[in-house]
Every structure is written in C-alpha cells, then in structure tokens.
Amino acid sequence: MRGQVLGVDARTGDGIVAGDDGRRYSFKPEDWAARGEPAIGLQVDFETHENRALTLFPVPGSAPVATVAPAPSAAEPNDRNKFVAAVLAFLFGPLGIHRFYLGRTGTGIVMLVLSCTIVGLLATVPWGFVDMIRYLVMSEREFATRYPREEI
C-alpha cells in the first residue's frame, strides 16, 4: 500500500502514516526499512497488519513536504503572563498556585501536598522562589513556547 507520513515523534521515532485507503497506521523506528529517517510529507510504500504499517520504504522520486512550524513570537496571543506567574510564585509559591496558573497541575499538586508538612515547606519555599526568578529572566518568546495558549 502507499501513503504519506503524517508525523514522527523526534524522541521515540514512532510515527503515523495516512494510507491511500483513508486509514491511519502507526509505525515504530524498526519498521522503517530504508536508510535515513522518515520525514513528514514523505510518500511511502508499506505493508499493513491491522492498524500498523510495516516495512516502510520511501517512494522513489518523492520528497518530504517542507514543513516548518512557525516560532512563537512575543506578539502571539497568550492567555498567560510571565509577570502574573512570578507574582503568584512570590506570594503563594509553596502552595504551587503559579503552577496551576501555568497549566502544570501535576507539579502544582505535588507542591500543594508537600507544603502540608514542615519538611515539605523546606523544599517548596525555595522551589517557588526559583520559579519566580526563572519567570522574570525568561524571554517572552521562551515563556510563550514553554507555556502555550490553552486550547478550549
């Protein structure tokens, strides 16, 4: 079957192929049977087994589609503000409120639970202070990249 590579995870090498039959198939790095690495938009020939693409080869003469994600800029709308996050970290740092504000609920819960004990406060007070300093020295672009706009 033929199809097109829709995406590849840079960390794991796992990917997704859209087959000509309209279905999507997943693949692992060991399924890539050619030299090099799969690229988004590359036309491939592959075998299928259930929802898995096996033995993927690039179609001769095909080239990947040049897809460059636009870098976030300071002008991009963001529903989070680094100064608000810094103030929250300063005032309520040990409770992790700033983490909830930034959408990091997992570490926010950890900080909230740790702050219930004296030993935990010894860890969360400096943690909140370091977070505050980090937010203040971080550029607007980096802040927007790390804490992107919430999609509803």
d(CA 65, CA 61): 13
Structural domains counted in the chain: 2
101 and 54, same domain (yes or no) = no
Contact 141/71 with Cβ under 8 angstroms?
A: yes
Q: Are residues 90 and 41 in the same domain?
A: no
Q: What is the pLDDT of residues 23-52, one digit of tens each?
A: 999 999 888 888 878 888 889 999 998 899
46 and 101 housed in the same domain? no
Same domain, 54 and 86: no
What phi, psi does 27 have (nearest 5°)?
Answer: -145, 160
Per-residue DSSP letters for 41-57? T-EEEEEEETTEEEEEE
Q: Same domain, yes or no, for 129 and 86? A: yes
CATH classification of the domain holding 22: 2.40.50
**C-alpha torsion sign, points 140, 87, 89, 104:** negative
Q: Among residues 127, 55, 60, which one has the least CA distance to residue 89?
A: 127
Helices (H), the chain: 82-92, 97-101, 105-114, 118-137, 140-146
In a domain, 93, yes or no: yes
If asked whether residues 37 and 89 sit together in one domain, one would say: no
Give pLDDT tens digits for 99-118.
999 988 999 999 999 999 99
Of 52 and 62, more confident? 52
Indicate if the pLDDT at residue 58 is higher than 70: yes
pLDDT at 74: 45
Q: Over 60: is that where the pLDDT of 70 sits? A: no
Task: Provide the percentage of residues in the chain whose pLDDT is more than 70.
Answer: 89
| Model pLDDT, residue 37 | 81
- The parent domain of residue 34 ranges over 2-58
- Average predicted confidence (pLDDT) for the chain: 85
